[in-house]
Structure 1
Amino acid sequence: MAGRYRKSRMWAPEGFFECEGLGLRWLAGARASGGPRVVDVFGWGADHLDIERVSSCAPTPLAAHDFGVALAHMHDAGASCFGAAPDGYEGTCYFGPLQDPVPMDRGDWPDAVSYFGEGRLLPMVELGVRRGELSAADVDLTRRVVEALPDLMGRAASDRPARVHGDLWSGNVMWSDDSGACEAVLIDPAAHGGHREEDLAMLHLFGMPFLDEILDGYESAHPLKAGWRDRLTLWQLYPIAGHCVFFGGGYVSEYRSMCRSLL
């Protein structure tokens, strides 16, 4: 039996570890149709999550390409709607670091534009205002971006809901050779029904080894809509707004610059 690792935090928000555990299982459900490996979940409580302990290795170009293919298949597994929680979860969803996760709105948005504007960007920026990191002017700036979303998304606005990891920066992609060959293993999701370009934008945000190979693999399994590279900044607005909430500082000016670059 695989070794176990306990992720824990006293006084975690209600449902936090249940949401993560069910999110991991939901993502892992795509494995049957070619999705990536996801850490096994053994159980959870109010203050902990017990998962598989994964040994790490250095990534390889082949493993990165294979991960891209698998990620496309995971996205293709879909979700019931934009804003859907992982199957079986009825509580509040969360986004952010273990020490300071914030609520991530659930909903049943009819399209990617309303989901991203109403369900993600504006709630995060308004939280930043309540925490004193962002201002009313930032809400106005964000509303201008939201009004422009139909044009900014272009053809990607017609995409169906994807089964997304939701926090797919490089630190949440482990590389392991436990199975005998190097492969990607997903951890620490904010899983939900979203847009496939969200995860791809997160992979670009803080650097990712063999990113070109990942993208080549992805497009071999699911070609992306024209102009997707031009939309990376758009999808990165949400995590950067989150970093304004969590950390403030230079992320505030970065968020403002990103918004202005889109207008």
Structure 2
Amino acid sequence: MNRDEVLRRVAALVDGTGATPTDAEVVTGGEICDAYRVTLDDGHTLFAKTRADSQDDFFVAEAEGLRRLHATGTVPVPRVLAADPGLLALEWIEGGSPTPEKAERLGRDLAALHATPAPHYGTAGPLYLGPVPLTTPTPAPTEPADWPAFHAEHRLLPLLRLAVDNGGISPGDTADVELLCDRIAEVAGPPQPPAHIHGDLWAGNIIWTERPHLIDPAAQGGHPEADLAFLEVSKCPHFDRLIAAYEEVRPLPGRADRAPLHLLHHVLIHAALFGGHYGPESGEVARAALVGGGAP
């Protein structure tokens, strides 16, 4: 979708409000969508993102994820203005620079989010990690003991199959990921009831306002350590202060040893979409998960 089409779509969105879009400026930072800062003639600013070949429910899923996070009352997110096939419009949030104090606030907010029970693992509606749809079985699993099998069968193995089909991972690394999936219950750590998680929380999905906002979720019932593992590996600014504040509220003994397990699905999706070094990294992370989790 080009700039003129974005302006036309946003004009239809705000029709009847007395405002007219006057400019759409490209915003960088995403991997799979085009993003724009749209200025209205009444002085307001919107954020619009588009994806030409997206499924009809692609942005609907993201909008629902933002609403789901907002409903927990724990983390700030942009307000959803519209979600249509091909376009998502949100309020514009003006960010600033990360600081240790903001990171500590985010750590406490994430601890509160992760302490909020979800009704089950996964979602009742559509869910995407990047452009890849994720599944939730029916009935959705609800018990802490269900998480390892759910994660292997509905998160790791589908992404592994996609990486294999796209030539993004070698047979040897594939075998190591499969071994981890076979033994995941041995390395999963303490039972974890389904909790609300962001689901795709890399450092680029934080807007560093005074109380940091979260964007671009794959929000679902899941394991909180997934959010923390991805934040850490993506070099979230002041992560040491963030995790210290988090663990003051919600201690996680042994978290560092389990981090490779919770990172793997993010590495696998990159292997599936981009190949390159992500295939060998997937095998390396799977092997680290087995060792860190204490598997013999």
Could you state the TM-score of these two structures normalised by the residue count of structure 2?
0.78
Contact 1:133/1:245, CA 8 A, preserved across alignment: yes
Q: Match for 2:204 among 147, 163, 171? A: 171
Correspondence 1:1-263 to 2 at 5 A: 3-31=45-73, 35-85=74-124, 90=125, 92-96=126-130, 101-107=131-137, 108-109=140-141, 110=143, 111-155=146-190, 158-176=191-209, 182-224=210-252, 226-263=253-290
Q: Secondary structure at the match of 2:49?
A: strand
Aligned mates of 2:257, 2:166 — CA distance in 1: 31
Residue 47 of structure 1: CA displacement? 0.9
Aligned mates of 1:139, 1:56 — CA distance in 2: 40
Contact 1:83/1:119, CA 8 A, preserved across alignment: no
Q: Secondary structure at the match of 1:5?
A: strand
Q: What residue identity is the alignment partner of 1:244?
A: A
Contact 2:48/2:89, CA 8 A, preserved across alignment: yes
Encode CA deviations 1:202-231: one digit per residue, 9 max, x unaligned: 10121011111111221122222x211101
Aligned mates of 1:250, 1:14 — CA distance in 2: 32
Aligned mates of 2:160, 2:283 — CA distance in 1: 11
Contact 1:59/1:183, CA 8 A, preserved across alignment: no
Name which structure has the greater RCO, CA cutoff 8 Å, separation 6+.
1
Q: Secondary structure at the match of 2:212?
A: strand
Aligned mates of 1:2, 1:64 — CA distance in 2: 28
- Bigger helix share: 1
Q: What residue identity is the alignment partner of 2:64?
A: L
Q: What residue identity is the alignment partner of 1:175?
A: W
Aligned mates of 1:37, 1:260 — CA distance in 2: 36
Aligned mates of 1:250, 1:11 — CA distance in 2: 26
Contact 1:125/1:138, CA 8 A, preserved across alignment: no
Q: Secondary structure at the match of 1:84?
A: coil
Residue 261 of structure 1: CA displacement? 2.8
Q: Percent identity?
A: 35
Encode CA deviations 1:141-160: one digit per residue, 9 max, x unaligned: 222101221221122xx111
Q: Aligned residue pairs: how many?
A: 243
Q: Which runs of 5+ in 1 are unaligned?
A: 177-181
Q: What residue identity is the alignment partner of 1:258?
A: V
Aligned mates of 1:145, 1:220 — CA distance in 2: 31
Aligned mates of 1:252, 1:237 — CA distance in 2: 11
Aligned mates of 2:129, 2:63 — CA distance in 1: 14
Residue 135 of structure 1: CA displacement? 4.6
Aligned mates of 2:248, 2:71 — CA distance in 1: 21
